[in-house]
């Protein structure tokens, strides 16, 4: 049997978990505290995949405010236009605190499938 050859290099270092589509708190820009409207797609221990209609440059710092003023700081690691959906962008966010487990946060708040 022939081995399948991928047309791209897989860059994920952690397994992704499917989400319910709910965010466990307010997502906002660190620089301005402006709330962002985004749909979470998947989560890993140190990463979050989101979809939104706003274009942000790689490196942008984003906060996720959860439970009692706790803020999870993340940064845009990569972005791309979402296939087949006009004016939407898919982002890969990387947690800046490597001691945090994003999967645990989404699980505790009922946002993990």
CA dist., res. 88 & res. 104, Å (int): 28
Domain extents in the chain: 17-108
Q: How far apart are CA 54 and CA 77, in angstroms?
A: 15
pLDDT tens for 83-95 read 676 789 999 999 9
Homologous superfamily (CATH) for 17-108: predicted glycosyltransferase like domains (2.40.10.220)
**Structure pTM?**
0.81
Q: What is the pLDDT of residues 61-73, one digit of tens each?
A: 999 999 777 899 9
């Amino acid at each position: 049997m022939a081995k399948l050859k991928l047309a791209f290099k897989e860059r994920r270092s952690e397994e992704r978990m499917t989400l319910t589509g709910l965010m466990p708190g307010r997502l906002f820009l660190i620089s301005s505290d402006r709330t962002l409207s985004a749909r979470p797609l998947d989560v890993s221990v140190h990463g979050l995949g989101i979809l939104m209609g706003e274009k942000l440059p790689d490196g942008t710092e984003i906060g996720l405010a959860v439970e009692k003023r706790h803020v999870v700081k993340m940064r845009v690691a990569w972005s791309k236009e979402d296939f087949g959906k006009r004016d939407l962008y898919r982002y890969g966010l990387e947690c800046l605190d490597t001691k945090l487990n994003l999967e645990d946060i989404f699980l505790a708040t009922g946002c993990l499938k």
